[in-house]
């Protein structure tokens, strides 16, 4: 059976601008070939078994030629694979998608084109520049900036381009900006016609320079403005002063390291990105099912004896009910137990499973929880604590002091995931991180182990935000003094504290 190829436009730098169909193609692919400008966050949606191949092409540094890329797509498809070719922007807007499609058609390989959002309209939009606007510009024209207009065999007719009164958009033209501007002036455009240059548009690193056809090239040279960037020529650029919105977001330009597990990072990352920042995910913990099934199954076999079950985390809930189902225990046996949930997220997880939570402490520290449970827990009560293997003993010990019989079962384990220490070190060496977030003591201690004590000096000017006092103390003990501590010990509380700081 033959394979199939999807030529997918992945949009600009903001990975959330990919289309629903494009995302579906990533999820179903056996093989993914992706370009330099693809946001790597798109790759996390790929199947675990997918073969992922980087075929990026940077100016003067091609890892693959276009011909080699086309042949590789064909080769993978002929082996029966579903191949997704991820291209920045739109595959048919200077993306050479037509060449790849022609080769596939010549070899009778099935393919589909999945259009993407081109940077020619999305990048200006993120800077508050509409490419058309009533009474200002009724057309826009997308032009390659790769071609030097001064070369003899240039296919660009600047004499014709200079007569256009619509918005002119040059893609990837920074190298040739001086010649582009001089050519437009030479053939009749006003030297004071407004120009905007935007680099890394739609990302937290977005920057814009404004000038005129006469002045912009010098400004680009003075600040060493580099690709990836687009050039916008036209009166619409003046609207950015009024319509800019992306750079007004409170976390714009901030790059924040998220150290939660890969599966849990999404909520914190989404909040950061919604506020204009960039979430850089580097998980320092991985949560896995406990292999100590004997104690767990023994507790579940006598589940009816417990007056209280105290869940201290969302993970505790998930792994507890996963084990109950796997071991064949009936959840109806929990009907007489009171359920205590530490924190609103834990309570929400229980409620999503149809349970009514009897008690949610106002504060989420063990010391405060004991004070609130005093008078509710009676001497002789049997209490089950399904928790992590590294959880502090204080809750268990203090409940015992109230006269309760406590069974603490390690329902899940936290371990250090596979990691690349050099990748983490380089993030700090390259000054690509403004802040580190820690959502538990284990994220802190594992981060310390991964980075290494000798590399702590790299954190000198980097802010540290923690979710609560226990996490804060762990960070202090390891030589990382927090700058920000959430007042409410939740993800929303942590984000609120970060916003207050900035």
Per-residue pLDDT reduced to its tens digit, 128-163: 999 999 999 999 999 998 887 887 777 889 999 999
Q: pLDDT confidence of 262, banded at 50, 70, 90?
A: confident
Q: Do residues 277 and 426 share a domain?
A: yes
- Provide the β-strand partners of residue 18: none
Is 57 part of the annotated catalytic residue set? yes
Residues ≥6 apart with Cβ < 8 Å to 454? none
Separation of alpha carbons 491 and 501, rounded Å:
15
Catalytic residue among 24, 57, 175, 178: 57
Domain hosting 264: range is: 255-285+417-501
Q: Are residues 385 and 422 in the same domain?
A: no
Number of domains within the chain: 4
Written in H, E and C, the secondary structure of 450-469 is HHCHHHHHHHCCCEEEECCH
What is the DSSP secondary structure assignment for residue 264, as one 8-state letter? T
Question: 0.75 cut: is pTM over it?
Answer: yes
Q: Is the pLDDT of residue 114 over 70?
A: yes
Burial of 430 by CB count in 10 Å (0-12 exposed, 13-18 middle, 19+ buried)? exposed
To the nearest 10 degrees (0 to 180), the angle between helices 293-301 and 314-327 is 80
Last residue of a domain, one of 116, 143, 177: 116
Quick one: pLDDT band at residue 1, thresholds 50, 70, 90?
low
Residue 61 pLDDT more than 80? no
pLDDT given for residue 207 in this prediction: 96
Distance separating alpha carbons of residues 35 and 31, to the nearest angstrom: 14
In degrees and rounded to multiples of 5, residue 128 shows phi and psi of 80, 25
Question: Does 20 lie in the same domain as 108?
Answer: yes
Q: Average pLDDT, stretch 302-331?
A: 93
Residues 391, 456 within the same domain: no
Average pLDDT of span 481-502: 94
**Token digits of residue 211:** 């000038």
Q: Give the C-alpha separation, 448 to 187, whole Å.
A: 61
Task: Return the HEC string of 358-408.
Answer: CECCCCCCHHHHHHHHECCECCCCEEEEEEECCCCCHHHHHHHHCCCEEEE
**Residue 20, pLDDT score:** 97
Q: Are strands 82-87 and 31-34 parallel, antiparallel or unpaired?
A: parallel
Residue 22 has pLDDT above 90, yes or no: yes
CA distances from 313 to 72, 139, 156, 323, 338 (A): 47, 56, 62, 16, 16
Give me the torsion for CA of 303, 306, 308, 311, rounded to 10°. -30
CATH number assigned to the domain comprising residue 347: 3.40.50.10090
User: Is 172 one of the annotated active-site residues of the chain?
Assistant: yes
CA 80 to chain centre: 31
% of the chain residues with pLDDT over 70: 98
Whole-angstrom distance, CA of residue 391 vs CA of residue 162? 69
Query: Are residues 222 and 80 located together in one domain of the fold?
Result: no
How is the beta sheet containing 31-34 ordered, strand by strand? 51-54, 31-34, 82-87, 4-9, 110-114
Q: What average pLDDT score do residues 284-311 get? A: 91
pLDDT of residue 59: 54
**Range with lowest mean pLDDT among 55-64, 382-391, 442-451:** 55-64
Look at residues 66, 24, 28, 20 and name the one whose alpha carbon lies nearest to residue 49: 28
DSSP state of 89: B
Last residue of a domain, one of 390, 415, 440: 415
- Say whether both 157 and 64 belong to one domain: no
Say yes or no: 433 and 449 in one domain. yes
For 117-129, what is each residue's pLDDT tens digit?
A: 999 999 999 999 9
- Domain CATH number, residue 226: 3.30.950.10
292 confidence band (pLDDT: 50, 70, 90): confident
pLDDT attached to residue 369: 80
Catalytic residue among 4, 30, 172, 434: 172
We report the CATH number of the domain holding residue 83 as 3.40.1010.10
Closest CA to 76 of 107, 39, 41, 114: 107
| 242 lies in the same domain as 263 | no
Choose one of 415, 433, 458: the last residue of a domain. 415
Q: Which of 4, 14, 30, 35 is catalytic?
A: 35
409 and 325 in a common domain: yes
**Residue 64: what pLDDT?**
83
CB count, 10 Å around CB of 235?
Answer: 14
Specify whether 354 is located in the same domain as 442.
no
Same domain? 275 vs 301: no
As a whole number, mean pLDDT of residues 34-57 equals 92
C-alpha 310/C-alpha 377 separation (Å) is: 11
- Give tens-digit pLDDT for 348-407: 999 999 999 998 888 767 777 888 888 888 999 999 999 988 887 888 888 888 899 999
Instruction: Put residue 94 in one of left, alpha, beta given phi > 0 → left and psi -120 to 50 → alpha.
Output: left
pLDDT over 60 (residue 297): yes
Do residue 425 and residue 358 come from a single domain?
no
């Amino acid at each position: 059976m033959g394979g199939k190829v999807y030529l997918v436009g992945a949009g600009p730098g903001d990975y959330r601008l990919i289309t629903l169909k494009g995302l579906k193609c990533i999820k179903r692919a056996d093989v993914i070939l992706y370009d330099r400008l693809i946001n790597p966050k798109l790759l996390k949606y790929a199947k675990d078994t997918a073969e992922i191949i980087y075929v990026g092409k940077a100016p003067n540094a091609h890892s693959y030629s276009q011909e080699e890329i086309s042949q590789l797509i064909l080769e993978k498809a002929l082996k029966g694979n579903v191949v997704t070719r991820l291209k920045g922007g739109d595959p048919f807007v200077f993306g050479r998608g037509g060449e790849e499609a022609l080769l596939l058609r010549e070899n009778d390989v099935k393919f589909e084109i999945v259009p993407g959002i081109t940077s020619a309209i999305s990048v200006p939009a993120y800077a508050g520049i509409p490419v058309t606007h009533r009474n200002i510009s009724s057309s826009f024209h997308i032009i390659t900036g790769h071609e030097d207009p001064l070369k003899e065999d240039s296919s660009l007719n600047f004499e014709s381009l200079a007569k256009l009164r619509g918005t002119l958009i040059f893609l990837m033209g920074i190298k040739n900006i001086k010649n582009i501007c001089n050519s437009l002036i030479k053939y009749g455009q006003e030297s004071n016609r407004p120009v905007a240059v935007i680099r890394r548009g739609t990302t937290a690193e977005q920057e814009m320079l404004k000038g005129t056809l006469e002045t912009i090239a010098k400004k680009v040279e003075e600040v060493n403005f580099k690709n990836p960037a687009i050039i916008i020529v036209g009166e619409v650029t003046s609207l950015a002063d009024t319509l800019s919105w992306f750079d007004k977001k409170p976390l714009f330009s901030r790059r924040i390291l998220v150290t939660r597990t890969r599966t849990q990072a999404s909520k914190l990352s989404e909040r950061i990105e919604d506020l204009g920042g960039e979430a850089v995910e580097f998980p320092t913990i991985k949560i896995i099912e406990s292999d100590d099934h004997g104690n767990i199954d023994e507790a579940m076999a006598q589940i009816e004896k417990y007056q209280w079950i105290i869940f201290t985390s969302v993970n505790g809930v998930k792994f507890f009910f996963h084990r109950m189902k796997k071991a064949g225990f009936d959840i109806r046996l929990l009907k007489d137990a009171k359920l205590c949930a530490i924190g609103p997220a834990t309570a929400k997880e229980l409620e999503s499973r149809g349970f009514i939570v009897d008690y949610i402490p106002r504060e989420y520290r063990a010391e405060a929880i004991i004070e609130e449970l005093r008078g509710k827990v009676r001497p002789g009560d049997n209490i089950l604590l399904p928790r992590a293997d590294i959880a502090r003993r204080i809750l268990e010990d203090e409940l015992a002091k109230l006269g309760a019989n406590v069974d603490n079962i390690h329902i899940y384990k936290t371990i250090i995931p596979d990691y690349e220490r050099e990748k983490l070190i380089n993030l700090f060496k390259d000054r690509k991180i403004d802040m580190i977030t820690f959502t538990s003591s284990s994220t802190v201690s594992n981060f310390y182990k991964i980075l290494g004590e000798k590399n702590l000096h790299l954190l000198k000017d980097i802010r540290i935000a923690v979710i609560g006092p226990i996490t804060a103390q762990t960070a202090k003990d390891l030589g990382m003094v927090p700058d920000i501590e959430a007042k409410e010990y939740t993800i929303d509380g942590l984000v609120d504290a970060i916003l207050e700081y900035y």
